[in-house]
């Protein structure tokens, strides 16, 4: 019986030593290849809180539920500083407002498709948490009816945001972020509705990502 206990104790010590060594190697490998040095794709859900205005009249507010799709990639430098880029698509319902006091049946419609290209700069903590800022260019569309004809404008606008991401397991991570779209202006005297300030406001989203290291 004593021999069995002794053998079990020796085996336990050997297993403990091997596990410790394996853990140290894993930590070292993790440090040399940060989990956020990857390419990724993901899906998300969130809310869009944009507004548009026409000729200084009452703002058209469009608070909408949105879905998101993202693809991108990034790299961690010196195991801390992060830099990356991504292509993001937000999808939501179109929203329309009528301006009966302006002209007969005049209306403004905010479209529900918002793609944007962003650059991300951040800092990693413990190799599995990333805080980042993002800036980029968004594309959006509004259409307005002047009572006789329908007109549309497609323009780009500046987008600025912040976010945080947490890695889980080998290939999965989740992120929460918020960004502010500065919107765009259009003032075409040939149109029935002038001085349009379109798609200005906040968007917030939660994302789940699948990451592939390179």
- pLDDT score of 3: 44
Distance CA 32, CA 119 (A): 24
pLDDT means over runs of 10, the chain (214 residues)? 41 40 38 78 96 75 95 93 97 86 73 95 91 96 77 88 92 96 77 72 97 88
- Domain check: are 199 and 102 in the same one? yes
- Domain check: are 22 and 83 in the same one? no
- Domain check: are 47 and 2 in the same one? no
- pLDDT score of 195: 74
- Domain check: are 27 and 63 in the same one? no
pTM: 0.77
Distance CA 152, CA 169 (A): 46
CATH classification of the domain holding 57: 2.40.160.20
Question: Which domain range does residue 47 map to?
Answer: 35-213
- pLDDT score of 102: 61
Measured in degrees and rounded to the nearest 5, phi and psi for residue 32 equal -80, -25
- Domain check: are 9 and 98 in the same one? no
Question: Please, where are the H alpha helices in the chain?
Answer: 2-32
- pLDDT score of 157: 94
- Domain check: are 122 and 196 in the same one? yes
Question: H-helix or E-strand containing 213?
Answer: strand 196-213
Distance CA 59, CA 180 (A): 17
- Domain check: are 116 and 140 in the same one? yes
Tokens of 171: 């290939």
Number of domains comprising the chain: 2
CB atoms within 10 A of CB 165: 24
């Amino acid at each position: 019986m004593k021999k069995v206990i002794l053998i079990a104790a020796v085996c336990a010590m050997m297993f403990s030593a091997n596990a410790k060594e394996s853990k140290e190697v894993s930590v070292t490998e993790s440090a040399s290849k940060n989990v956020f040095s990857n390419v990724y794709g993901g899906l998300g859900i969130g809310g869009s809180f944009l507004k548009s205005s026409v000729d200084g009249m009452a703002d058209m507010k469009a608070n909408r539920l949105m879905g998101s799709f993202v693809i991108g990639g990034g790299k961690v430098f010196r195991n801390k500083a992060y830099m990356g880029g991504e292509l993001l698509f937000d999808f939501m319902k179109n929203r329309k407002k009528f301006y009966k006091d302006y002209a007969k049946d005049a209306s403004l419609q905010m479209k529900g498709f918002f793609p944007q290209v962003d650059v991300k700069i951040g800092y990693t903590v413990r190799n599995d948490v990333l805080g980042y800022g993002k800036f980029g260019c968004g594309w959006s569309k509004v259409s307005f009816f002047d009572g006789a004809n329908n007109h549309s404008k497609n323009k780009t606008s500046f987008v600025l945001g912040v976010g945080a991401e947490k890695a889980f397991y080998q290939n999965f991570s989740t992120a929460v972020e918020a960004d502010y779209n500065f919107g765009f202006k259009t003032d075409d005297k040939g149109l029935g509705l002038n001085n349009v300030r379109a798609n200005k406001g906040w968007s917030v989203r939660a994302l789940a990502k699948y990451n592939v290291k390179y």
